[in-house]
């Protein structure tokens, strides 16, 4: 199956700093990538949809100036959490989709656990 990687897997940072998370599709080209956020013992909540070469589409309530998304190529999307605060501590998961006809299967990265002190 298709493989999606995320880097780093874990990051601890001080409040006020920025953190960049990379999401890569390793063996396929993904025109669309999604960023989700998961709080402990809760479901995944979609943050934004990232299309290669265009601006990301953010879900209601997600601050686009705080969560910067760049989809620079068909295999790479990055999420930058700017001026992170403890409430941004969460598990961030990306997925990449291969679209072909009716197939909208998504492949998930292993996630990045962000802890803001």
C-beta closer to another protein: residue 9 or 15 = 9
Measured from the CB atom, the residue of 38 and 70 that comes closer to another protein is 38
Helix (H) or strand (E) holding 12: strand 10-13
Structure tokens at 103: 């197939």
Token digits for 96?
């990449």
Contact flags string 3-42 toward another protein, x per CB under 8 A? ---x------------------------xx-x------xx
User: Residues near 54 by Cβ (< 8 Å), separated by ≥ 6?
Assistant: 71
Tokens for 13? Answer: 């940072």
- Residue 60 touching another protein (CB under 8 A): no
What residues have CB less than 8 Å from 62, skipping those under 6 apart?
A: 47, 48
Judged by CB under 8 A, does residue 93 bind another protein?
yes
Among the candidate windows 14-22, 46-54, 66-74, 81-89, which touches another protein by CB under 8 A? 46-54
Go through the chain and tell me how many residues it has.
117
Which stretches of the chain bind another protein, using CB under 8 A?
1, 6, 31-32, 34, 41-44, 46, 49, 51, 93, 95, 97, 99, 102, 104-111
């Amino acid at each position: 199956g298709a493989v999606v990687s995320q880097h780093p897997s874990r990051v601890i940072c001080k409040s006020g700093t920025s953190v960049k998370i990379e999401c890569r599709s390793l063996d396929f080209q993904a025109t669309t990538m999604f960023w989700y956020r998961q709080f402990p013992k809760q479901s995944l909540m979609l943050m934004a949809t990232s299309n290669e070469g265009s601006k990301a589409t953010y879900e209601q309530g997600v601050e686009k100036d705080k969560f910067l998304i760049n989809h620079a190529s068909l295999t790479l999307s990055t999420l930058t959490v700017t001026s992170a605060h403890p409430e941004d501590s969460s598990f961030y998961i990306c997925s990449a989709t291969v679209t072909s006809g009716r197939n909208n299967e998504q492949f998930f990265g292993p996630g990045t656990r962000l802890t803001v002190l």
